[in-house]
Amino acid sequence: MWIKEIVENLVKKYGTNDPFEIAEAKNIYVIEQDLHEEIYGFYKYMRRNKFIFLNSNLGKEDKVFTFCHELGHSEIHPKLSAPFLKSKTLISIDKIENEANRFAVELLLPDSAIYEYKDSGLSISEIAGIHGVPSEVAHLKNLRNVHGK
């Protein structure tokens, strides 16, 4: 539930759920590069600055979801580097990655979006797809207290 609250507070503060607008308002540097095909993006904290690197070869939906995921790292794990933890320590990064995915799902799929489809007969996975959330992570949406506010 705390990740949902972080997202709701960000959206309220910046008046948008557009991850690129939020990152710009928070002075997060965004760098698009031709990265290896297996690397969609990554977050890095360096010298009190936040950077999000995105693979410039991604399609629009993958780019947006990846950006939301990396923005999640910047909000939930601001001083951690998942690539460093993965390559230089024995610490499992599964929990960290799952939390960033939850952040991305909550940002792209607000409760109000689900409420709009309440009488449509669409599944959560279908609604998620409409909003750019991959079906593999749609189950991460916190459905408690989904209402029409």
- Phi, psi (rounded to 5 degrees) for 19: -65, -30
Q: How far, in Å, CA of 74 to CA of 28, rounded?
A: 9
Q: Give residue-wise pLDDT tens across range 8-44.
A: 999 999 999 999 999 999 999 999 999 999 999 999 9
What DSSP designation does 62 have?
H
Q: Can you read off the two tokens belonging to residue 15?
A: 């008046």
Residues 127, 105: contact at Cβ < 8 Å? Answer: no
- pLDDT tens by residue, 39-51: 999 999 988 999 9
Model pTM score:
0.87
Q: Which domains does the chain have, with CATH numbers?
A: 2-140 (1.10.10.2910)
